[in-house]
Amino acid sequence: RKEVEQDPGPFNVPEGATVAFNCTYSNSASQSFFWYRQDCRKEPKLLMSVYSSGNEDGRFTAQLNRASQYISLLIRDSKLSDSATYLCVVNAGNMLTFGGGTRLMVKP
């Protein structure tokens, strides 16, 4: 079983739609959680950290469920520019473990 699992997608949604991605992790000792965004042929960039109480950054909301060991990312009012691959990232110890990513394609 992979340490961090994501549905690879692609998720094809129209502009303005709300879309949600989930991610599960296997290490119950994981301490920190992140979502990274990776555009085609570019490097991953930190989108947002995920806090236990949940957190919001504009149209993006991240949630953490420690009991079920999953993390979610909700994107409201999708824009064409949101098209990218979203990587779920988990820290257990001093290193980050990356999921394989979920590809999002927002259509006009």
Partner 1 sequence: DVKVTQSSRYLVKRTGEKVFLECVQDMDHENMFWYRQDPGLGLRLIYFSYDVKMKEKGDIPEGYSVSREKKERFSLILESASTNQTSMYLCASSPGPDPTYGYTFGSGTRLTVV
Interaction site with partner 1 (CB under 8 A) = 8, 32, 34, 36, 42-46, 49, 87, 89, 91, 94-96, 98-101
Asked whether the CA dihedral 56, 57, 59, 64 is positive or negative, the reply is negative
Q: Least Å distance between CB 44 and partner 1?
A: 5
DSSP string, 73-88: EEE-S--GGG-EEEEE
Q: Least Å distance between CB 1 and partner 1?
A: 14
| Residues 49 and 55 sit within 8 Å (Cβ to Cβ) | yes
Closer by beta carbon to partner 1, 18 or else 32: 32
Closer by beta carbon to partner 1, 94 or else 108: 94
Closer by beta carbon to partner 1, 32 or else 52: 32
Residue 81 main-chain phi, psi, to 5 deg: -70, -10
Q: Which residues pair with 97 in a beta bridge?
A: 90
Q: Least Å distance between CB 23 and partner 1?
A: 12
Q: How far apart are CA 56 and CA 9, in angstroms?
A: 23
Q: Least Å distance between CB 72 and partner 1?
A: 18
Query: DSSP class of residue 100?
Result: -
Closer by beta carbon to partner 1, 17 or else 27: 27
